[in-house]
Every structure is written in structure tokens, then in C-alpha cells.
Amino acid sequence: MDDYKIIVISGPSGVGKTTIYKQILQEYSNNISFSISATTRKIRDGEEDGKDYYFLSVEEFKQLIDKDDFIEWECVHNNYYGTLKSEIYRIWKMGKHGLLDIDVRGGLHIKEIFGDKSFLVFIAPPSMSELENRLRNRGTCAGEALKRRLDNAAIEMEQQDFYDTVLKNEHVTIAVTELKKQIKKYIAKKPLL
């Protein structure tokens, strides 16, 4: 499984990273598979257990921490989120690279563990005011929750320089084209182990 890699996509909530990486997953479905994280947050409308996330109770999540079943886990917006070791092995065993949608702390943790076997992509908004507009227009987040997401976004933005690449999501099509180019280039490279 030496040739298989991990692609991490991070960026503030509302930046549009899901739209971007779903197009990547669709186009490269033979080579790249989404890593389903475990979380304790409540399931949202339209989400499916075992597809979007493995939805767990806090108790269940903590048991997995105790069993050392996570590659990395974090508390994000007051909920637990984590990448299971079994999930990465499942993807690699299928002969594919894993794509992870995780927060910046999780991404940096992955880099520490996997080094050049991982490629960290930070999706940035055109500006913080544009990010605030996007979050407001989503209608799912207001008041305290909006403030918490914006505060968290500011902290995440400070870490972008530690990522392998930063893509500004001004126009989705341009961002997707650029990301495809960079992923193809990265995957073609042998890991420097």
C-alpha cells in the first residue's frame, strides 16, 4: 500500500470546499475515495449515516479514542470529529487514495504522521466579508453560531501557510480545474519516504 496517499481538504465553514471536492471525487472515482469521518454531532437533513459520517454518541466516540482507533481526532464547534484508522485502510485496500475533509488541526496532524504521503489543500474565501455573506445566505447559521464559525474561520486562515497549497475559491470552476491539476501532479510523484 506504499503508493497510496492521503489528500486533505480544509478551509473555513462556508468556503465551498464540499462543492469543490465532490467534483473531484466524481471525476476520479476510480482512484480517489472519500474518507468517512466519525462524529458526535447531530445528523442533518439529507445526510446519511455511513455515507456522510459515522454518527456516534459521545460515549461510543470516547470508547474508540480509548481503543486507539483514530489516526486523528479533534473537538470542532463543540462536537468530536475523527478519522478512523480502519477507514484509511479500507480505502487503501481498494487500491485508492483517500480524500479527507477535516479541520486544519486535523490536517496538520495528518502531515506529521504521513509526511509526503499526504497532500494538504487549503480552500480560502476571496475575503472574510465574502465568507460572512456566504454563511448568512446559507440560512443555517446566525447569531452565536455564525460568530463561532467566523471566529473559527479566522483561526483556520492563520494556519493556511502550513498547507502544501492554498486555493482561493472565487469561481468554483476555476478552483476545481486548478485543484485537479495539482492533485494529478501530486499523485504522479513518488512519495519521498
CA-closest candidate to residue 53, choices 18, 26, 20: 18
- Count CA atoms closer than 13 A to 190's CA, side-chain side: 2
Tell me, rounded to whole angstroms, the distance of Cα 75 from its chain centroid. Answer: 14
Return the range that interacts with ligand 5GP (CB under 6 A); candidates 103-111, 112-120, 122-130, 163-171.
103-111
Under DSSP, the state recorded for 78 is T
Among 6, 21, 40, 106, the residue binding ligand 5GP under the rule CB under 6 A is 106
Return the range that interacts with ligand 5GP (CB under 6 A); candidates 74-82, 111-119, 127-135, 171-179.
74-82
Q: Which residues pair with 82 in a beta bridge?
A: 38, 73
CA-closest candidate to residue 81, choices 120, 42, 124, 123: 42
Q: Is 41 in the site for ligand 5GP (CB under 6 A)?
A: yes
Among 7, 56, 64, 83, the residue binding ligand 5GP under the rule CB under 6 A is 83
Smallest gap from residue 30 Cβ to ligand 5GP (A) = 24
Binding site for ligand 5GP (CB under 6 A): 13, 37, 41, 72, 74, 76-77, 81-83, 101-103, 105-106
